[in-house]
A and B are shown apart, each in its own frame.
Chain A
Amino acid sequence: MIDELTSLLSRKDIEWELYWGKGRSGSFGIERENLERSQRKFYSGIGLRIGYKGKLGFSYITGLSHDRQTLERFVERTIKLARVSEVPFRGFPVPSKVLKVGGLYDRRIDEIPFEEAHAMALEVASLMRSVKAGGETLSGSLSFAVSSEGVVNSNGVELETRTTGMGVYIYAVRGTGTGSFQQTYRSLQPMEELEKGIAEARTNAELGRKAKRLDPFRRELVLEPEAFESILWLFLENVFGDTVYYRRSRFSERGLEVGSEGLGLEDDSTIDGLPGSYPFDGEGSPGQRTTIVEDGILRSFLLDYTFASFLGMESTGNALRSFRSVPRIGTSNIVVGTGDLNLEDFEGVVVKDTLGAHTANPVSGDFSLTVSLGYVVRKGELRPFRDNMLSGNIFELLKTLKPGKKAERRGSFISPRVLVEASLV
């Protein structure tokens, strides 16, 4: 059907781009250690962007098996939208070399029979029942997905990719303490990984149960990757090309000092096997490694084709989308640079996770988040705390940052522990 649509569009005097997607997913919800909700979903569709006399029209259609008449109506509707639209059209990418990114597809996930995936979820539920302590509740989910996506445009771009994914979520409640483990993968994971997740969620719930509020203080503390990720997005919003172009960013130019000498930040969609990786983005621009911050200096914004063109720059391959939407600038994998500090044995206050990150203000950079779990480490002993507010300003905080040695991955965020100055209220 894509070929039929392509030939239909080629006969019109317009610029066009098709973004299509097709896939299925299976997921399994475990409640109170019992498998209670299983599902299998199918989706497919095509997004069509049309450039007409400098203006852009967009429309989508669900399904990939339409007759010619439906396809013609779809094309006409999108052309009509381009005619009334005043959205500026800056062209589509031209073909360029797209490198293969390894480890994004695992045949075992693609071909796993539903019954087998279901049995795996039952095994997780049974594992939960065997380890749970009195007064403890364990829940969670397992999910598997396979998807194919492609971009074709009037400049000759014609790309297609097939990827797989697996997600694990474990949630433990022990009295008023809660703990979770969340991770995403491109390949099928062994039961040991799930056991590790259950153990981690349970440990955190037990720490949470014992945790009390700390006395307020302001000094150096360590942020674990989860806590750092929840406030780093305040900074990242400021490096998106659309935010810069629309003057909602703190930054209008590159080369500024935005952090300590130890701060390095990359967006990298080319790392093998990671959930945020892709060979090409939602407009067919190649994926790449982009240095956002190097030695504390802002080196690049994150851009798609349109906003790169508005700003007189090159796309960094950060157009994210589904067939239902036009491309929007987003991150792929965010990699925070490591340093020399050994923060694994850090003695002092460590914040593990926070609540309420989306209530903070990316424009002023001020944040006050509730600590959902942290601990004070003294002579190797760990005393948990929670319910304090972690307050500060992201732009000030980054100037005090010293990165640790060892990076950890949570989904598409890879970061070491970081030492920063902030207040606990």
Chain B
Amino acid sequence: MELFRFAERLAERYGIDYYEIRLMKVSSTRLSMENGQLDELSQNGETGIGVRAFNGAWGFSSANDMKRAEKAVETAFKIARLSRGEARIYLGDPVEEEAEIKTRKPFTDVDISDKLSLLREIDGLLKGTPSRSVSYADSLVETLYVNSLGSEIRTRVPRIGLRFSVTVRGNGDMQTYWKTFGGTLGWELVEGIDLPHWASLVEEKALQLLKARSPPSGEFEVIMDPELTGVFIHEALGHAVEADLVKNGDSILAGRLGERVAVEELTVVDDPTLPGKFGSYIYDDEGVKAARVEVIKGGILRTYLNDRETSVYFGLEPNGHARAQSYAHQPLVRMGNTYVEKGSWGFEEMLEEVRDGLYMVGDKGGQVDTAGGTFTFGAKEGYLIRNGEIGEMVRDVALSGKTLEVLGRIRAIGRDVRIEFPGYCGKGQSVPVDDGGPHVLTRALVGGTR
């Protein structure tokens, strides 16, 4: 390709040691329906280029008008020449590969009218509730990654998502409940969902929450369900092991490699190679192959999630966790599919351990202060536990704690691992992730209004 030859010649002229070019084509479809009325139906395609050049520091440029592609290369190189820093990066061997995440039934073969019918079907199932919302999105990202080492990697990654929610009112109050599905899958994801089951569950839960009281406040024993374990491990631990944050002093786990940071039974993994999960990918955005990483094994901190630069900075094996939101963004160290490995406890055994605590279910998102080690996240619903018995439902439950304290106070890890909780993670850029694990019993601060 002429553009690559142009880059090669220019790199020589500018004295650029290393550069990489990402050419991306994204095709996406989005539909949303509110209370039976279609709110959005769009099909779009977009191409763009992102160029990064290294000269001890990074220079980056991007454009979405391909007539500016050469200009983007030139700009990135000029910036790198101007920048000159002290950093070093992992180079490795060149890679030539063409790879795709294959699906059983590509959504690109499904007509938009069938996608619209899906929304109508779900809307019909939720019709008992006046305020309801259904949305569907799919995207196919085709990337050509080329770098100055001679790598040439072509990938195709499909991603599909479906979400529906209801909002109910009664007793002068309002509540909402929702369910999200997603994966690097095709239309088979949709066909595999028991829609009537999930639609009635969403409606029932919202109505139950209307009658639920706010939780008590204070420190409690807490059992997290697999979905909440997922957000817990993503927020409380996952961000603190992103090597770029560690490098900036912004992590409670800085300088702790090889040390015990959690109970011995805890193993935490980030694995972008899990088939079909929402956070899966084949190569990261620096052309490094995605790999399963045991971040914590047997309670010991083994490594950080890293990229070409931070792997050298910390003297670690590069593990392919540099991800960018799009061609117009520089890769940052990110998670893929993060989860807690299975332990030895059954759910009932775990329950019996709790005298006075809470069972918390579902993820409403969270946030972490990685340097201070404080995290907070919300659960969709909670239940009081008294003497090993699940009791009254509570609503709007939020948990807070100190990462290292809570990891050290884990009393039981279940056998029932589930990793099926897709979402987007924000760190200045938004990328698709998945997380999960088994039921986990620990102790944390619960914030309630009574």
Q: Please provide the chain A residues from 50 to 109 with a CB less than 8 Å away from any CB of chain B in the complex.
A: 57-60, 62-65, 77, 81, 84-88
Which stretch of A29-37, A219-227, A401-409 is in the interface?
A29-37
The answer for the CA separation of A41 and B327 in the assembled complex, in Å, is 10
Q: A35-B85, A62-B64, A216-B217 are in contact. Are A114 and B176 (CB under 8 A)?
A: no
Asked if B395 is at the interface (CB within 8 A of a chain A CB), the reply is yes
The answer for the CA separation of A397 and B438 in the assembled complex, in Å, is 37
The answer for the CA separation of A158 and B37 in the assembled complex, in Å, is 30
The answer for the CA separation of A333 and B95 in the assembled complex, in Å, is 49
Tally of A-B residue pairs with Cβ under 8 A?
248
Chain B residues with CB under 8 Å of A216's CB are 217-218
Whether B374 lies near A386 (C-beta < 8 A) is: yes
Whether A391 lies near B48 (C-beta < 8 A) is: no
Which stretch of A262-270, A271-279, A292-300, A359-367 is in the interface?
A359-367
Which stretch of B15-23, B54-62, B338-346, B348-356 is in the interface?
B54-62
Across the interface, A370 reaches (CB within 8 A) one of B72, B83, B374, namely: B374
Which stretch of B181-189, B314-322, B442-450 is in the interface?
B442-450
> How many residues on the A side are at the interface (Cβ–Cβ under 8 A)?
72
Which stretch of B142-150, B192-200, B396-404, B410-418 is in the interface?
B396-404
Q: A32-B247, A86-B38, A87-B41 are in contact. Are A40 and B61 (CB under 8 A)?
A: yes
Whether B35 lies near A177 (C-beta < 8 A) is: no
Please, which residue of chain B has its CB at the minimum distance from the CB of A389? B447
Chain B residues with CB under 8 Å of A289's CB are none
Whether A38 lies near B448 (C-beta < 8 A) is: no
Whether B447 lies near A137 (C-beta < 8 A) is: no
Q: Please provide the chain B residues from 67 to 93 with a CB less than 8 Å away from any CB of chain A in the complex.
A: 67-68, 71-72, 75-76, 78-79, 82-83, 85-87
Whether A39 lies near B59 (C-beta < 8 A) is: yes
The contact size tier of chain B is: 35 or more
Chain B residues with CB under 8 Å of A114's CB are 78-79, 82
Across the interface, A366 reaches (CB within 8 A) one of B41, B85, B247, B449, namely: B449
Chain A residues with CB under 8 Å of B252's CB are 176
The answer for the CA separation of A385 and B98 in the assembled complex, in Å, is 54
Chain A residues with CB under 8 Å of B44's CB are 59-60, 324
Whether B398 lies near A32 (C-beta < 8 A) is: no
The answer for the CA separation of A367 and B252 in the assembled complex, in Å, is 26
Asked if A423 is at the interface (CB within 8 A of a chain B CB), the reply is yes
Please, which residue of chain A has its CB at the minimum distance from the CB of B68? A42
| 0 or 1 for each of B85-123: is its CB under 8 Å from A? (1 = yes) | 111000000000000000000000000110010000000
Asked if B369 is at the interface (CB within 8 A of a chain A CB), the reply is yes
Seed contacts A38-B79, A41-B63; 13 additional CB < 8 Å A-B pairs: A31-B247, A36-B87, A38-B57, A39-B330, A86-B41, A137-B249, A178-B250, A246-B35, A247-B130, A248-B167, A326-B40, A366-B395, A370-B375
Provide a sorted-by-A list of 14 A–B residue pairs whose CB atoms are within 8 angstroms.
Answer: A31-B247, A34-B85, A34-B86, A35-B57, A36-B87, A39-B61, A41-B62, A45-B64, A60-B46, A84-B41, A118-B82, A173-B250, A356-B400, A361-B176
Residues of B within 8 A of A (CB): 34-35, 37-44, 46-48, 57-68, 71-72, 75-76, 78-79, 82-83, 85-87, 112-113, 116, 130-131, 133, 167, 173-176, 214, 217-218, 244, 247-250, 252, 328, 330, 364-369, 371-378, 395-398, 400, 402, 445-449
Residues of A within 8 A of B (CB): 31-32, 34-45, 57-60, 62-65, 77, 81, 84-88, 114-115, 118, 137, 139, 171, 173, 176-178, 208, 216, 242, 246-248, 250, 324, 326, 355-361, 363-364, 366-370, 372, 386-387, 389-393, 423, 425
